[in-house]
Amino acid sequence: ATNNSSVSAIKKRGTIKIAVFGDLQPYGWVTKSGKRTGYDVYLARQIGKDLGVKVKFVQVNADSRVDALKSNKVDLVLANFTVTKERKQQVSFAKPYMKVSVGVVSKKSSPVTKASQLKGKKVIVTKGTTAEEYFTKHSNGVTLQKYDSKTQQFNALKNGRAKALADDNSYLFAWVKKHPTYTVGIKTIGPSQTISPAVKKGNTSLLNWTNKEITKLNKKGFFETNYNKNLKPYFGSDIKASDIIITNNK
Amino acid sequence: MNWSIVQQGIPTYEKAFMITLKLSFWGILGAIIVGLIVSFVRYFKVPVLQRILGAYVELSRNTPLLIQLFFIYYAFPELGFKISAEASGVSGLIFLGGSYMAAAFAGGLEGVPKIQVESGRAIGLTDWQLAQYVVLPQGLSLSIPAIAANVIFLIKETSIFTVVAIPELTNTALDQIGMLYDTNEALFSLVVGYAIILIPLSILLTWLERRARRGSFGN
Amino acid sequence: MAHSGINILFEGRNMVRLLGGLWISAKIAIVAIVVGLILGLILGALRTLHNPILRVILRLYLEFFRVIPTVVLLFLFYYILPQNFNINMGAESMAMLVFALWFAAEMSDIVRGGIISVSPHQVDAGKAIGLNRLQLYYYVLIPQSIQLMIPATINLVSRIIKTTSLLLLISVMDVINIGQQIIEANGQRYENGAFWVYGFIFILYFILCYPLSLWARHLERKEVVTANG
Amino acid sequence: MANELLTVTHLVKNYGKKEVLHDINFTVEKGSVTVLLGPSGSGKSTLIRCLNGLEEFHGGQINFEDQTITPGFKKWQPLRQHIGMVFQSYDLFPNRTVIDNILLGPLKVQKRDKNEALAQARQLLKEVQLSEYENAYPRQLSGGQKQRIAIVRALTLNPDFMLFDEVTASLDPEMVRGVLEVIEGLAARKMTMLVVTHEMNFAKQIADKVLFLENGKIVEESSGHQFFEQPQTQRAQDFLSSMDF
Amino acid sequence: MANELLTVTHLVKNYGKKEVLHDINFTVEKGSVTVLLGPSGSGKSTLIRCLNGLEEFHGGQINFEDQTITPGFKKWQPLRQHIGMVFQSYDLFPNRTVIDNILLGPLKVQKRDKNEALAQARQLLKEVQLSEYENAYPRQLSGGQKQRIAIVRALTLNPDFMLFDEVTASLDPEMVRGVLEVIEGLAARKMTMLVVTHEMNFAKQIADKVLFLENGKIVEESSGHQFFEQPQTQRAQDFLSSMDF
Ligand SMILES: Nc1ncnc2c1ncn2[C@@H]1O[C@H](COP(=O)(O)OP(=O)(O)OP(=O)(O)O)[C@@H](O)[C@H]1O
Ligand SMILES: Nc1ncnc2c1ncn2[C@@H]1O[C@H](COP(=O)(O)OP(=O)(O)OP(=O)(O)O)[C@@H](O)[C@H]1O
Ligand SMILES: [Mg+2]
Ligand SMILES: [Mg+2]
């Protein structure tokens, strides 16, 4: 089959289909006036501009990001997609643009600060996230509640359905700023990881282009601008840009 | 398709299968009880109660289970009323299934020919005796095919429980897809899981319908 | 919370967006119903023929769509078709396809049920005046069974509308998905936003389906009356 | 007269706004057979159903034994043990065997002793020549057999009065005779009966009195003999001549 | 003989394993009325339905006009225009008016000119005294009226042969006469007919020939006069006596 997600195919079509989250403030979400926005979305728009094509957003949930690529539903995933060994076998990741690690949020009134406190407790995750992966591998007596979407998982936490919720620390930081009765008691658990754009395996054309694009954007300081615009207002003062974004290219 | 992956997943799916079965069982049992109550209240035209249950039936039949569940699980706690995921699932199934079962029972009761009621009256049966010896035995057996159809329908609806994070069959399969990317294997196990429950039921239903049509229940 | 949660519905363009989501669901339902109706009518008529092979095939088709939960059908088509058969279509058109095939399967059973419930005397009478098979369907069987089929068909339409709620799970921007976006985006301002948004969607579905169920019941009652006449 | 079992006076019955029985008056003497004739839709079934409360009536009154029944009367249930009825359509309970059909009334309504009721039921079954069907289900019987069982079921309650509404109308022609013979037997034993039938030869043979109904009115009332030999009204004459082709 | 319209030889018919017609032989002469009698379940309807292909048969043959029909014959549809049939159950199409019921065959099957067919239909409607019901729907008619329309519907195809299967059996007694008179009229005009009926007086009046069927065999075949005056077999005698009560 021909690669209809190659750069030339995309240019010919005039649109690029990019998978983003729709309910993950401040990375990919929708404002009350219905406009998509966030750190990932901002990047996506820039990529569209640089390719000279229109961007068509496809909203995904965490567990459908791989399949969205595999089944050609999208050309590129920009949905807080953490690079993992397993995922590398399924899709191709470009150069990273963010740092991340799993964090655990809990009620300020009974905070969870150590993994051992979770023994025998319920923990909320979203299906197909690195948090789920981590706690599946290191379960230590934790029972996982697996939700489909971010909305559902945060709703469940607020309703007190579990002791804690595990997810990428980068958006937990943002979430607790808006929900001051909660705290990210465990800031990092498990390995430090990175977030990258992903394309379908074998799509070297778009992969190469994206790698170059990230290098170029880095030079222009795009990611700092993006951070200041989309992320900074959501984080507490204890979080610095360098905690989140990757500026020096390897 | 990688069969060893399918095989490895069997214990997990077995657990999920049991959860699907367990929740279906309680949900259907509850729905049958609610259905019986509703249909009796409406058949015997119990004042006031008949109207209240009528409103319940309309709400139940004209809204999707998914929203009913969202409501029970995500919205009610905001009003200070919280039950577990499994309890929410079963309540949702009862809320939805109660009206369907009521319709099945009502169909059976109304299917009892008028002449049967009249000949019961003619030999002097009281209203209660009429219900006990004539209307209920005949009406219930007439409603069996419709009940069986509802049972199948309700079991299928448990697939929606995935949205409240109950690790039943659908949730388990979606999890396998999301985390391990074994899409084909997960969907295969999922379909097999439902087929084991539903195909025998569907055959039973066909048989019941044929029996009912041939009139073995009737004169 | 001094302000009432209901205002979440009137913030910004929230209301317009919710209704827009509803329109997406409706659009998918409408296409599925139209396609499914036509296909179901043909398949249902075919199922009354005495061709055993055709019967088995159509019966299997019906059973497949009947036994497998709709959620699973959606995932099957959503994941399997593109990956294994290299057929690509957007989530919306895919949903239309699944719902149309499902509708056609259920419809075929309604049509078959309607046709076989036409009294065999009518078939005899039609044959006795020399009608051929096609004429028999066109002049006798279909017109007489259509009245019987309408209430069941309306119920099926109402079912398909309710089932569009599942679109959420395959990333179609339906009314519930948009509801979730709204709950998330306004979560901290409206603590019981979920209650109001889900409540509103609950009512939307009710408004769509309730008239259908009233109509179906009205027709059923009328049918009982005319059947005795 | 002390000899009257039933007296109907000025009886009126409406379906909604439609008056289907107008000012009906007649008496039924103990031990007599009254035949109700009339064209289809004239109100025969409606009248007979008013007499055991299956239909409400709206004016006039019914005197049965020492009871006076006026519109709105509610206590039909105990009275119905004294008034047996058999319908045109087979009305046995399909979920019960023949004997269970028969014993339901005696045991549950009349709370009689089981052995005594059973003995009576068996005796009656023998008389209608259906002893061997005691444990059969209704679906295993022919139409004529079902109707004979329905008669037995009514008789086992020891009624004082029997109502028959076209009990042979749904039967195959050859099945008719057996059922009519049973009714003839009852007449011979002086059971008080009101019979609606379209079998003219049978009516002629059995009727002590004929009521001819048309459009909800009794247009002729005469003795059985007189009605068939010298009908008084033109309408009755037409009716009789339309009946034998 | 050149005068035969229909000849049935060695006809056999099974339902599954059950043989319901055994070795049936008879002829129908042009312009004659043949009456088929016999107890319920003897196979009358089955036989008559074999003659226009509503049931398959499994042995023997049928000769109709110049056609030879053997088991497995497929081309009934054109033939049925020449063989009219009226059934016991009212079989008008409830979704079409009276005139549309009548014209369906002439226009759609025979592709005849609309005005010509309409003229014929109106003439026939007049003869059965139902002209004013041209635009009524079947549900607005009484049973007797429906059966007369059904006869007209069959006649408008100009058949050479008419089959009647107990066409008055579901009618109210007073409606019977009108229908039978129409059939009598056809007999007078020498329409070839095969008639199943339970109306003995009518059968007697109309039959040129009687076939008496029992358990799927023709046990007696004789002229109409002879059958009713001196039935040959014991079975026929019993049957006749069971018929008049
Ligand atoms: N439930 C009903 N509602 C309205 N009208 C009715 C009802 N039942 C009967 N009627 C009308 O009442 C009149 C008398 O009907 P009824 O059945 O008593 O006649 P009938 O003499 O028994 O006729 P048949 O010989 O056909 O049994 C008819 O005009 C009929 O249409
Ligand atoms: N579809 C069928 N399948 C099996 N057996 C049948 C079927 N139709 C009729 N029979 C049997 O064939 C025999 C003849 O039936 P048929 O209807 O021809 O009798 P009939 O003489 O017309 O009776 P009636 O006077 O009651 O109309 C009966 O024993 C009947 O049970
Ligand atoms: Mg009557
Ligand atoms: Mg017959």
DSSP string, A141-200: TPEEEEESSHHHHHHHHHTT-SSEEEEEHHHHHHHHHH-TTEEEEEEEEEEEEEE--EEE
H-helix or E-strand spanning residue E7: strand E4-15
Among C82, C83, C181, the residue with its CB nearest the CB of A22 is C181
Rounded Cα distance, E174 and A190, in Å: 95
Rounded Cα distance, D238 and D231, in Å: 10
H-helix or E-strand spanning residue E151: helix E143-155
Residue B183 has pLDDT above 70, yes or no: yes
Residue-level pLDDT at A2: 64
Question: E with B: 3 or more CB pairs under 8 Å?
Answer: no
* Centroid of ligand 1 to alpha carbon of E182 (angstroms): 28
For C5-228, the fitting CATH number among 1.10.3720.10, 3.30.450.260, 3.40.50.720, 3.90.1010.10 is: 1.10.3720.10
Ligand nearest to the CA of E143: 1
Q: Are residues B128 and D108 in contact, defined by beta-carbon separation less than 8 angstroms?
A: no
Q: In what order do the strands lie in the sheet with A98-107?
A: A143-147, A122-126, A164-168, A98-107, A182-195
Which residue's CA is minimally distant from atom 4 of ligand 2? E15
Residue C2 has pLDDT above 80, yes or no: no
Residue C1 has pLDDT above 50, yes or no: no
Low-confidence ranges of chain A (pLDDT < 50): 1, 249-250
CB neighbour list of residue C94: distance below 8 Å, 6 or more residues apart: C74, C77, C78, C81, C170
Per the model's pLDDT, the better-predicted residue between D193 and C4 turns out to be D193
A63/B167 CB distance under 8 A: no
Confidence of residue C120 (pLDDT cuts 50, 70, 90): confident
Q: What are phi and psi of E70, to 5 degrees?
A: -120, 170
Average pLDDT rounded to a whole number, residues B52-79: 90
Residue E159 is given by DSSP the state -
Confidence of residue C225 (pLDDT cuts 50, 70, 90): low
Among C121, C130, C226, the residue with its CB nearest the CB of E87 is C121
Residue-level pLDDT at D160: 94
Please tell me which residue of chain B has the smallest CA distance to A86: B180
Average pLDDT rounded to a whole number, residues E222-238: 88
Chain position carrying tokens 């076939």: E211
Residue-level pLDDT at B174: 87
Identify all chain B residues contacting D74, using CB atoms and an 8 Å cutoff: none
CB neighbour list of residue C126: distance below 8 Å, 6 or more residues apart: C135, C136, C139, C140, E93
For B3-214, the fitting CATH number among 3.90.79.10, 1.10.3720.10, 3.40.50.300, 3.90.105.10 is: 1.10.3720.10
Confidence of residue C88 (pLDDT cuts 50, 70, 90): low
Q: Which chains touch A (3 or more CB pairs under 8 A)?
A: B, C
Residue-level pLDDT at B141: 85
What is the pTM for the complete model shown? 0.81
Per the model's pLDDT, the better-predicted residue between D38 and C78 turns out to be D38
Q: How far is E140 from chain C (nearest CA, A)?
A: 8
Burial B96-121 (b: 16+ CB within 10 A, else e): bbbbbbbbbbbbbbbbbeeebbbbbb
H-helix or E-strand spanning residue D84: strand D83-86
Average pLDDT rounded to a whole number, residues C108-124: 90
Interface D-E, measured as beta-carbon pairs within 8 A, has a size of 40
B62/C205 CB distance under 8 A: yes
C189 touches chain B (CB under 8 A): no
- Average pLDDT over all residues of chain C: 85
C124/E87 CB distance under 8 A: yes
Rounded Cα distance, E84 and E110, in Å: 14
% of chain D at pLDDT higher than 70: 98
Residue-level pLDDT at C167: 87
Q: How far, CA to CA in Å, does E137 sit from each of A38, D41, E96, E101?
A: 69, 20, 6, 9
Q: How far is C208 from chain B (nearest CA, A)?
A: 8
Q: Are residues D177 and E242 in contact, defined by beta-carbon separation less than 8 angstroms?
A: yes
Residue D44 is given by DSSP the state H
Could you state, in order of their start, the residue ranges of all structural domains in chain B?
Answer: 3-214
Identify all chain E residues contacting D197, using CB atoms and an 8 Å cutoff: none
The amino acid sitting at A94 is A
Ordered mean pLDDT values, 10 residues apiece, chain D (245 residues): 84 90 94 92 93 92 92 90 90 91 93 94 93 92 90 93 91 84 91 92 92 93 90 87 70
In sequence order, the β-bridge partners of residue E193 are E33, E162
Q: Is any atom of ligand 1 closer than 6 Å to the C-beta of D42?
A: yes
Residue-level pLDDT at C227: 47
Question: C with B: 3 or more CB pairs under 8 Å?
Answer: yes
User: Closest Cα partner for A153 from C171, C184, B20?
Assistant: C184
CB neighbour list of residue B169: distance below 8 Å, 6 or more residues apart: B13, B16, B17, B19, B20, B158, B159, B190, B193, B194
CB neighbour list of residue B217: distance below 8 Å, 6 or more residues apart: B138, B141, B142, B144, B211, D94, D95
Ligand 2 binding pocket (C-beta < 6 A) is: D 172; E 15, 20, 38, 40-46
* Centroid of ligand 2 to alpha carbon of E23 (angstroms): 17
Q: Is any atom of ligand 1 closer than 6 Å to the C-beta of D197?
A: no
C80 touches chain B (CB under 8 A): yes
Q: Tokens in use for C56?
A: 């088995």
CB neighbour list of residue A169: distance below 8 Å, 6 or more residues apart: A100, A101, A102, A103, A184, A187, A188
Confidence of residue B216 (pLDDT cuts 50, 70, 90): very low
Ligand 2: nearest atom to the Cα of E38: 21
Ligand 2: nearest atom to the Cα of E198: 25
% of chain A at pLDDT higher than 70: 98
C122 touches chain E (CB under 8 A): yes
D104/B133 CB distance under 8 A: yes
Rounded Cα distance, E191 and E186, in Å: 6
Q: Is any atom of ligand 1 closer than 6 Å to the C-beta of D45?
A: yes
Q: Tokens in use for D53?
A: 């409360």
Q: How far is A158 from chain C (nearest CA, A)?
A: 9
Identify all chain A residues contacting B73, using CB atoms and an 8 Å cutoff: 159
Q: How far is C28 from chain E (nearest CA, A)?
A: 34
Residue D130 is given by DSSP the state -
Residue-level pLDDT at A155: 86
B62 touches chain C (CB under 8 A): yes
- Cα B12 to chain centroid, rounded: 25
H-helix or E-strand spanning residue B145: helix B136-157
Confidence of residue B44 (pLDDT cuts 50, 70, 90): confident
